[in-house]
Chain A
Amino acid sequence: MTNVEITTPRPVAARRGSAAAVLGSGRLLRIELRHNAMLWLLPVAIALFWYNGYREIMALPPMWNLRAMTLQNRLLLDLAIPVTGAAAWMGSREGRRNVTDLVAVTARPRWSRQLATWAATTAWAEVACLACVAVVYIMTARQASWGGPLWWPAAVSAAGVPALTAIGFAAGAWFPGRFVTPLVTMAVFFGLGFGTQAATGDHSYWQVSPLTAGAFDIGAAPGVATFYPYLPDLSIAQVMLTVGLAVAVLGALGIPVARMRWLAAVITAAGLAAAGTAVALAGTGRLDPHGMIAIPALHDAASDQPVRYAPACSRTPIPVCVHPAYAGFLPAVTASVGPELTEFAGLPGAPDRISQVSAVYRQEPGNAITVGGGIPSATAFLLPDEVPGRLGTTGAEFAAQMDEGLGLQLASDIILGGHADSNPSQAQLAVIAGSVRFPPSVESRDLAPMYGRLLPQPGSPADLAARRFAALSPAARHAWLAGHLAALHAGRISLAQLP
């Protein structure tokens, strides 16, 4: 006897019903897309981003890390008001127009209709968000000297949009009064913009805010995610939070629907669990030495390997090599320390080339973070985070930092023969001071800690000798040093013997 499996064919009416439901949902979504307040607020959203965010982002040096992290810090905040406002407006539509009872008798449950409206609002908001990201990334791709797009900051911004629309939509749907839209918009903006004020240190739960692109007190810095890959740990937690919030709020919208109460409650609980987990994970973060927040549970050890790159080097007597992302600053570096490079090239103890090294970041109490340069030497230097164009830093300020750092390091290493901790002679101090050309913006209070150790006291005989030495051309100084450096090291040169 054989078993005969009898299958009942699905009724044609049911299949037609499913297809009709899908078609109907598509038609409903299309109608909502065409009659959505967010469509009208798209120009406002884009104009706000252009005014507040885009101009500042594009004024930054063309480095992917700087621009992408600043984009994450700005974009969602600029979109918060139009997006939340439009969502609240759409959410309150049925209540405002007193048609709640009228549409309650339609075939679709209220939750389904609300989700279609929310989806349409979110779709237009995402169009604005992604358009802003695209413009910034396309412009950066045309200008950057190295690297590629950082997608995690863009993903956090894009994931934050549904959360904004969900909160706004739900508030509008639950309280459809005329004051609700502006008030919920203000509340969301306030929470988003000022939510990180209470944050302290790298273990703060508040860094889960989707506007936080890195450690507090560093933010978007050139040294972060340049020598090492961009760590997605914090971004993953932020995406979890925003997606979890959106799911929880949208699930809560369905709880009043009798037939779907349990499903909605489960969805809400899942969303809240995801959001809560994200907050807890953010609280376990720590600042890694490369300036990014690492979360142990989300961390991939492979991300700790340095990025491979071919350095960009100058054609100076002593080549200066920088990470290719900094290639745009190489002319400024060589312009600021060019005379020193000419003067010291070929002298005993002078390096064959000078290479940029990565900064080392360390969390201090509160939000303070120290930025160190590893092992300072004549062959390695640290480019300051305050590069021209960042936070209003000018070329003159950058040159001053380079002279105080690289220029002085190079001169002291060669003149003192690598014994910077020894007690230098007045002639050695005079030669160091005469070799390093500080721009006029460097004030004596900036140099005061180095008086007597690396530089002569102002007005002293050594200072006068330094001025005399500085008046020579770099080639003349080089020629004199070539003949007298050994004697200078041995302390056999007096101030009077300096040219």
Chain B
Amino acid sequence: MTAVAVRLVRLHAASRRLPAALVLLAACAAALRGTLYGQWDSYGALQLPLIFEAACAAVVAVTAGSPFGEPERATGRWLPFLRLGAAVTLTGLAAGALAAAGAGLPLAGGFPDILRNVAGLTGIGLLCATVLGGPLAWTGPLTYLLLGLYGLYTDWHPPTLSTPWIWPARAPHDLGGALCAAVVFAAGLAAITVRGARESPGG
């Protein structure tokens, strides 16, 4: 990797507030670990990880916004790859940080659950960034969070939501839920790679 490429990546990361996003992802992971030390009833234990997964996804999605807009698009052919790389890297780091936070503690669902939920929620966030802009990209993951929590709630109180599109309510190794989350993540990545976040006054 040349120095120019490194500088390009560094500038792209700075323009998307990636350092701040990394700090916030670490804070989310630390908060998850802190809460896992607490005493929770069944509702709390199962629904708790989804809150932090949604927070991480919202952070990743918000970083998709560009403060430059048109001038940046005109500068070169590497921008789509930079967007793709930033989204994939942050999603991976978010899932890894949350999984590490749950290590050695009773984390409901384990790593498969975290990976599926973070990927799916991030996909929703990236799609929202494409449509609404980076600053409003959080609306998708946070709205879906409520649907996911309700899906988990119906596991106790029938009628259970059986659609795989509400994947947080499915078992961690459920293929249908994983496929739906993967499809949404892929769609979000494709959209943000090709089109980027919608331009908005707030960047």
Contact = CB atoms under 8 A, between A and B. Distances in A.
A292 to B, nearest CB: 22
A391 B62 CA distance: 39
In this complex, the member of A48, A89, A177, A179 whose beta carbon has the largest number of chain B beta carbons within 10 angstroms is A179
Interface in B44-103: 44, 47-48, 51, 54-55, 58-59, 62, 65
Contacts of B157: 56, 391-392
A185 B141 CA distance: 12
A182 B41 contact: no
A51 B151 CA distance: 10
Contacts of A197: 38-41, 44
Contacts of B62: 178-179, 182
B139 A85 contact: yes
Contacts of B65: 178
Contacts of B138: 85, 181-182, 185
B44 A182 contact: no
B21 A179 contact: yes
B139 to A, nearest CB: 7
A52 interface: yes
Interface string B16-30: 010011001000000
B108 interface: no
B142 interface: yes
B154 to A, nearest CB: 9
The 10 closest A-B pairs by CB, nearest first: A182-B138, A182-B58, A96-B202, A52-B150, A186-B55, A392-B158, A81-B142, A197-B44, A178-B62, A48-B146
B163 interface: no
Given A48-B146, A81-B145, A194-B44, 13 more contacts: A48-B143, A52-B147, A85-B138, A178-B17, A178-B62, A179-B62, A182-B55, A182-B138, A182-B141, A185-B142, A186-B55, A189-B142, A189-B145
Given A186-B58, A392-B157, A392-B158, A178 B142 contact: no
Contacts of B149: 52, 193
Contacts of A179: 17, 20-21, 24, 59, 62
B201 interface: yes
A178 B40 CA distance: 32
A263 interface: no
B20 A194 contact: no
Contacts of A97: 201-202
Nearest to A185: B142
Contacts of B47: 193
A81 B44 contact: no
A182 B59 contact: yes
A178 B202 contact: yes
A479 B157 CA distance: 45
A183 B55 contact: yes
A190 B44 CA distance: 10
B120 interface: no
A403 interface: no
6 contacts: A44-B143, A51-B146, A52-B146, A56-B157, A178-B202, A391-B157
A78 interface: yes
Nearest to B20: A179
A255 B74 CA distance: 46
A186 B62 CA distance: 14
In this complex, the member of A78, A186, A198, A391 whose beta carbon has the largest number of chain B beta carbons within 10 angstroms is A186
A96 B134 CA distance: 12
B110 interface: no
Interface in A337-376: none
A85 B54 CA distance: 14
A96 B142 contact: no
Main SS at interface, chain A: helix
A178 B146 CA distance: 22
B203 interface: yes
B28 to A, nearest CB: 9
Interface in B85-137: 134-136
Contacts of B41: 197
Nearest to B31: A190
A31 B47 CA distance: 40
Contacts of B201: 96-97
Nearest to B142: A81
A89 B202 CA distance: 11
B20 A81 contact: no
Nearest to B139: A85
Contacts of B59: 179, 182-183
Contacts of B202: 96-97, 178
B136 to A, nearest CB: 8
A85 B145 CA distance: 14
Nearest to A92: B202
A426 B115 CA distance: 63
A247 B20 CA distance: 32
A89 B136 CA distance: 9
Contacts of A391: 157
A68 to B, nearest CB: 19
Contact of A96 (B20, B135, B139, B146): B135
B38 A182 contact: no
B53 to A, nearest CB: 11
Nearest to A81: B142
A197 B51 CA distance: 15
Contacts of A193: 47, 51, 149
B196 to A, nearest CB: 16
Contact of A194 (B17, B48, B139): B48
Nearest to B23: A179
A41 to B, nearest CB: 8
A85 B135 CA distance: 11
Interface string A194-238: 100110000000000000000000000000000000000000000
A186 B17 contact: no
Interface in B188-203: 201-203
Interface in A380-395: 391-392
Contacts of A198: 38-39
